[in-house]
Amino acid sequence: MSELSKPEEDFQDPGEAQGPVNAQLLGAEAGVAASASASSPTVSSLGTGESLPQEALNEMIASLMKFLLLKYRAKEPTSQAEMLNKVLRDNQEYFPVVFSQASQCLQLVFGVEVKEVDPREHIYIMVSILGLSCNAMLSSGQSIPKAGLLVLVLNLIMRNGDRAPEEKVWGALSRLGVYAGSVHCIFGEPRTLLTHVWVQEGYLEYRQVPYSHPARYEFLWGPRAYAETSKWEIMAFLLRVKQRALRAFPLQSAEAAREDDEAD
């Protein structure tokens, strides 16, 4: 995506205290998430009725995600006017669909929720979903929001009687392109993240199944997960996500539901 190769100065205010952000990494994160939202070859503008190629739409979604992630890291609010001026520019008529899909991708992939705090002025803030504070650190000291993946793992554990066999977790995550031992452009090396980082942070427990020969392992909720969220909050959040997806992409959502049932 050519839009993602542009320097991040376009999306940063002068003198921002956070310092430079790795634009290449942000581009990879946003590009993967935006491409995951593709559902049709063209999208119509609500204002003009003109169609827009999905590739062009994905570029706008990726650019908006990049902008919102920068705001999240800087702990700064933003506004609809700022997003229109700095990101969409000559494509402002597509704002409703771009903003909606970018917000959904941020929730599902990064665990970042876009909340409107001033409906009159359309001011938004970005917060970690469900209050989860997990953020893996880059070598540069900057954090990558990963609560979205953690929520999926916590849900897998819940759906398997509060203890999920390791092979079942990796089997489910592989359907999302996340493989143990294979470096992911967003999540890094997932096995290290799940079995070391989140275990040390208290979000997960990773232990040998008692009396298993050869040894098998399983995941459980860790004490910090219980402290920062709850099973009810996880289920309510995922239900809201599924309902929005069903309204936006009914056919794809029905197929995904059937695959989930078959996997169980």
For residue range 175-206, list pLDDT tens digits in order.
888 898 888 877 888 999 999 999 999 999 99
236: enclosing H helix or E strand = helix 231-248
Quick one: what percent of the chain has pLDDT higher than 70?
A: 68
Residue 30: per-residue pLDDT: 47
pTM of the predicted model as reported, rounded to 2 decimal places = 0.65
Q: What angle (nearest 5°) sits at the alpha carbon of residue 140, between those of residues 139 and 146?
A: 70
Average pLDDT, the chain: 75
Residue ranges of E strands in the chain: 42-44, 51-53, 78-79, 112-118, 123-128, 135-137, 143-145, 164-165, 204-208, 217-221
Specify burial of residue 201 (Cβ count, 10 A radius: 0-12, 13-18, 19+): middle
- Mean pLDDT of the 100-129 span: 87
Q: How many CB atoms lie within 10 A of CB 69?
A: 23
The token pair at 84 is 């229109």
For residue range 194-237, list pLDDT tens digits in order.
999 999 999 999 999 999 989 999 999 999 999 988 999 888 88
